[in-house]
Amino acid sequence: MTTQHIWETYHQDVKQFIVSKVKDEDVANDLLQETFIKIHTKKETLQHQEKLKSWIFTIARNTVLDYFKQITNTREFFDADSIVEEGKMQHNETDCLHGIIGHLPKKYRNPLFLSDIKGMKQADIAKQLKLQLSTTKSRIQRARKKIAQGYMECCDLKLNQKGFLVGEIKDKEDCKLCS
Protein backbone atom coordinates (compact mmCIF):
# COMPACT_ATOMS: atom_id res chain seq x y z
CA MET A 1 0.00 0.00 0.00
CA THR A 2 1.41 3.40 -0.94
CA THR A 3 1.73 6.31 1.45
CA GLN A 4 -0.67 8.28 -0.71
CA HIS A 5 -3.29 5.51 -0.46
CA ILE A 6 -2.77 5.32 3.30
CA TRP A 7 -3.16 9.12 3.46
CA GLU A 8 -6.36 9.11 1.41
CA THR A 9 -7.85 6.31 3.49
CA TYR A 10 -6.91 7.38 7.03
CA HIS A 11 -5.86 11.04 7.25
CA GLN A 12 -9.29 12.36 8.27
CA ASP A 13 -9.66 9.84 11.10
CA VAL A 14 -6.09 10.38 12.27
CA LYS A 15 -6.54 14.15 12.23
CA GLN A 16 -9.78 13.88 14.20
CA PHE A 17 -7.99 11.71 16.76
CA ILE A 18 -5.11 14.19 17.08
CA VAL A 19 -7.44 17.20 17.36
CA SER A 20 -9.32 15.42 20.14
CA LYS A 21 -6.07 15.15 22.07
CA VAL A 22 -4.37 18.52 21.45
CA LYS A 23 -7.45 20.75 20.99
CA ASP A 24 -5.60 22.96 18.48
CA GLU A 25 -6.14 22.71 14.72
CA ASP A 26 -2.72 24.12 13.75
CA VAL A 27 -0.84 21.85 16.15
CA ALA A 28 -2.96 18.93 14.96
CA ASN A 29 -1.98 19.65 11.35
CA ASP A 30 1.71 19.68 12.31
CA LEU A 31 1.35 16.44 14.25
CA LEU A 32 -0.61 14.86 11.40
CA GLN A 33 2.25 15.76 9.09
CA GLU A 34 4.80 14.27 11.48
CA THR A 35 2.68 11.14 11.83
CA PHE A 36 2.56 10.58 8.08
CA ILE A 37 6.27 11.23 7.70
CA LYS A 38 6.83 8.45 10.23
CA ILE A 39 4.35 6.21 8.42
CA HIS A 40 6.10 6.88 5.11
CA THR A 41 9.57 6.17 6.44
CA LYS A 42 8.61 3.11 8.49
CA LYS A 43 5.84 1.47 6.47
CA GLU A 44 8.22 -1.29 5.34
CA THR A 45 8.49 -2.45 8.96
CA LEU A 46 4.78 -3.31 9.16
CA GLN A 47 4.65 -7.09 9.07
CA HIS A 48 0.88 -7.68 9.10
CA GLN A 49 -1.16 -5.52 6.71
CA GLU A 50 -4.35 -6.40 8.58
CA LYS A 51 -2.98 -4.42 11.54
CA LEU A 52 -2.36 -1.28 9.44
CA LYS A 53 -5.04 0.87 11.08
CA SER A 54 -3.95 0.11 14.65
CA TRP A 55 -0.31 0.62 13.61
CA ILE A 56 -1.17 4.05 12.17
CA PHE A 57 -3.04 5.09 15.31
CA THR A 58 -0.19 3.86 17.50
CA ILE A 59 2.16 6.12 15.55
CA ALA A 60 -0.30 9.02 15.90
CA ARG A 61 -0.68 8.41 19.64
CA ASN A 62 3.09 8.28 20.10
CA THR A 63 3.50 11.48 18.07
CA VAL A 64 0.97 13.23 20.33
CA LEU A 65 2.75 11.92 23.42
CA ASP A 66 6.08 13.17 22.05
CA TYR A 67 4.49 16.58 21.49
CA PHE A 68 3.25 16.79 25.08
CA LYS A 69 6.64 15.67 26.39
CA GLN A 70 8.31 18.35 24.30
CA ILE A 71 6.07 21.21 25.41
CA THR A 72 6.28 20.33 29.08
CA ASN A 73 10.03 19.83 28.81
CA THR A 74 9.87 16.50 30.56
CA ARG A 75 12.07 13.63 29.57
CA GLU A 76 12.04 10.06 30.59
CA PHE A 77 15.42 8.70 31.51
CA PHE A 78 16.01 5.09 30.68
CA ASP A 79 18.48 2.65 32.08
CA ALA A 80 20.93 2.36 29.17
CA ASP A 81 21.67 -1.27 29.94
CA SER A 82 18.04 -2.32 29.69
CA ILE A 83 17.60 -0.41 26.43
CA VAL A 84 20.57 -2.14 24.87
CA GLU A 85 19.32 -5.50 26.12
CA GLU A 86 15.93 -4.90 24.55
CA GLY A 87 17.55 -3.95 21.23
CA LYS A 88 16.09 -0.45 21.17
CA MET A 89 19.39 1.34 20.58
CA GLN A 90 19.29 0.64 16.86
CA HIS A 91 19.91 3.80 14.88
CA ASN A 92 19.41 4.33 11.18
CA GLU A 93 18.89 6.98 8.54
CA THR A 94 15.16 7.11 9.29
CA ASP A 95 15.92 8.35 12.81
CA CYS A 96 18.11 11.06 11.33
CA LEU A 97 15.53 11.95 8.67
CA HIS A 98 12.88 12.59 11.31
CA GLY A 99 15.23 14.92 13.19
CA ILE A 100 16.33 16.69 10.02
CA ILE A 101 12.77 17.23 8.77
CA GLY A 102 11.73 18.39 12.22
CA HIS A 103 14.38 21.11 12.05
CA LEU A 104 13.30 22.37 8.62
CA PRO A 105 11.50 25.72 8.64
CA LYS A 106 7.77 25.30 7.95
CA LYS A 107 8.07 27.19 4.67
CA TYR A 108 10.18 24.28 3.37
CA ARG A 109 8.69 21.42 5.38
CA ASN A 110 5.08 21.98 4.33
CA PRO A 111 5.59 21.99 0.52
CA LEU A 112 7.96 19.02 0.84
CA PHE A 113 5.37 17.07 2.85
CA LEU A 114 2.61 17.81 0.35
CA SER A 115 4.84 16.84 -2.57
CA ASP A 116 6.83 13.88 -1.34
CA ILE A 117 4.50 12.37 1.26
CA LYS A 118 1.02 13.22 0.01
CA GLY A 119 2.06 12.95 -3.64
CA MET A 120 0.42 16.21 -4.68
CA LYS A 121 1.39 17.96 -7.89
CA GLN A 122 3.49 21.06 -7.38
CA ALA A 123 0.90 23.24 -9.14
CA ASP A 124 -1.76 22.06 -6.67
CA ILE A 125 0.59 22.70 -3.76
CA ALA A 126 1.19 26.24 -5.01
CA LYS A 127 -2.57 26.87 -5.13
CA GLN A 128 -3.16 25.37 -1.69
CA LEU A 129 -0.34 27.36 -0.07
CA LYS A 130 -1.17 30.48 -2.11
CA LEU A 131 2.34 30.66 -3.58
CA GLN A 132 3.73 31.12 -7.05
CA LEU A 133 4.55 27.82 -8.76
CA SER A 134 8.20 28.85 -9.09
CA THR A 135 8.33 29.60 -5.35
CA THR A 136 6.81 26.22 -4.54
CA LYS A 137 9.27 24.37 -6.78
CA SER A 138 12.15 26.30 -5.28
CA ARG A 139 11.09 25.54 -1.70
CA ILE A 140 10.71 21.83 -2.40
CA GLN A 141 14.17 21.71 -3.98
CA ARG A 142 15.67 23.70 -1.11
CA ALA A 143 14.01 21.36 1.41
CA ARG A 144 15.56 18.36 -0.34
CA LYS A 145 18.96 20.06 -0.34
CA LYS A 146 18.58 20.93 3.34
CA ILE A 147 17.80 17.27 4.08
CA ALA A 148 20.97 16.19 2.26
CA GLN A 149 22.90 18.90 4.11
CA GLY A 150 21.38 17.69 7.37
CA TYR A 151 22.64 14.17 6.71
CA MET A 152 26.09 15.56 5.98
CA GLU A 153 26.14 17.65 9.16
CA CYS A 154 24.39 15.20 11.50
CA CYS A 155 25.80 11.93 10.28
CA ASP A 156 28.99 12.93 8.43
CA LEU A 157 27.70 11.48 5.17
CA LYS A 158 29.27 12.78 1.96
CA LEU A 159 27.96 13.38 -1.55
CA ASN A 160 29.64 11.16 -4.12
CA GLN A 161 30.37 12.21 -7.70
CA LYS A 162 26.88 11.19 -8.78
CA GLY A 163 25.23 13.29 -6.06
CA PHE A 164 24.26 10.39 -3.78
CA LEU A 165 24.84 10.42 -0.04
CA VAL A 166 27.40 7.82 1.00
CA GLY A 167 29.02 6.77 4.24
CA GLU A 168 28.04 5.07 7.46
CA ILE A 169 25.42 6.37 9.86
CA LYS A 170 26.97 7.33 13.19
CA ASP A 171 25.89 5.89 16.49
CA LYS A 172 22.92 7.77 17.89
CA GLU A 173 24.91 9.45 20.65
CA ASP A 174 27.32 10.87 18.03
CA CYS A 175 24.61 12.39 15.83
CA LYS A 176 23.94 16.07 16.33
CA LEU A 177 20.19 15.99 15.61
CA CYS A 178 19.28 12.50 16.78
CA SER A 179 20.79 12.41 20.24
One-letter amino acid at 43 equals K
- For 19-44, the pLDDT digits (tens) are 998 888 888 999 999 999 999 988 88
Q: Residue 176: its pLDDT value, please?
A: 66
Domains of the chain: 3-72 (1.10.1740), 90-174 (1.10.10.10)
Structure confidence by residue, pLDDT tens digits, 87-140: 444 566 677 777 788 888 999 989 988 888 788 899 999 999 999 999 999 999
Which pTM does this prediction carry?
0.49
User: For residue 170, which of 179, 161, 162 has the smallest C-alpha distance?
Assistant: 179
Q: What is the pLDDT of residue 120?
A: 86
Rounded mean pLDDT of 8-23? Answer: 91
- Using 50, 70 and 90 to split pLDDT, how confident is the model at 75? very low
- Mind giving me the DSSP string for the chain? --HHHHHHHHHHHHHHHHHHHH--HHHHHHHHHHHHHHHHHHGGG---GGGHHHHHHHHHHHHHHHHHHHHHT------HHHHHHHTTT---HHHHHHHHHHHS-HHHHHHHIIIIIS---HHHHHHHHT--HHHHHHHHHHHHHHHHHHHHHHH--EE-TTS-EES-PPPGGG-TTT-
